[in-house]
Amino acid sequence: MLEALTGSGLAASAGLNAYIPLLSMGLLARYTDVVELPGGWQWLSNGWVIAILTVLLAIEFVADKVPVVDHVNDVVQTVIRPTSGGLVFGAGVSSETATVSDPGEFFSSNQWVPIVVGVLIALGVHALKAAARPVINTMTAGIGAPVASTAEDATSVVMSLVAILVPVLVVVFLAGMVLFLVWVLRRRRRRRRERQAARAAGFQV
């Protein structure tokens, strides 16, 4: 149960930022005894992998805080974040890595299930993030983009650490995301009604 919560928290974190949970696991595994990566996931703690993830995180950190560029970044990340989610969920529940020597055994033994679950969780969170950002940008005339992005990065960091150190609290984070989803959907419906009302008023004039 705790392993599933750890994997879920890491995958949700990847939906906000693809590189933070991977980097968190790699750093903790390399420099502490907090994380012990399964044999197939030792590459996450490799120095070169950590360096590459750090560079990618820096690029993502800047790109996601610029209006319009953040939308393009979200489109690009539609593939990257779910992939990261699958990887960290698989590592979190001690699944074998997707880079296997025997693909037939990989699929027949259901080792692929945790990775698919992680992909779906990260994809759902990414979709929520991508849907919320235009709402926030519109409400704040673009000023809210860096604030929202910083909050998302901070949430990703905290959720990654919580998923690894205190996985039971992941439930609280996931509940908060559900409530945020409800808010985003209500805002989008309200904006749609306002646009329809404005168009109707224009036709009447």
pLDDT along the chain (205 residues), means of 10: 76 89 89 79 88 92 84 84 83 49 48 73 83 76 79 88 80 77 74 72 58
Decide: 7 and 88 in contact? Cβ < 8 Å.
Answer: yes
The values of phi and psi at residue 200, to 5°, are: -60, -40
From residue 151, alpha-carbon distances to 70, 128, 130, 159 in Å are 14, 14, 14, 12
Residue 100's pLDDT is what? 41
Q: Which residues contact 78 (CB under 8 A, 6 or more apart)?
A: 123, 126, 130
Residue 106's pLDDT is what? 44
Query: What gap in Å lies between CA 63 and CA 189, rounded to an integer?
Result: 28
Decide: 168 and 2 in contact? Cβ < 8 Å.
Answer: yes
Find the domain containing 53 and state its range.
2-204
> In the chain, how many domains are there?
1
- HSE on the CB side for 193, CA within 13 Å? 6
Residue 171's pLDDT is what? 78
Q: Is 124 helix (H, G, I), strand (E, B) or coil?
A: helix
Residue 58's pLDDT is what? 93
Residue 163's nearest CA partner among 193, 131, 122, 128 is: 122
Query: What gap in Å lies between CA 164 and CA 131, rounded to an integer?
Result: 28
Q: Is 93 helix (H, G, I), strand (E, B) or coil?
A: coil
Decide: 87 and 40 in contact? Cβ < 8 Å.
Answer: no
Residue 96's pLDDT is what? 38
Both tokens of 66, joined, read 């610029």
Both tokens of 109, joined, read 């033994």
Radius of gyration of the chain (CA): 19
Residue 201's pLDDT is what? 65
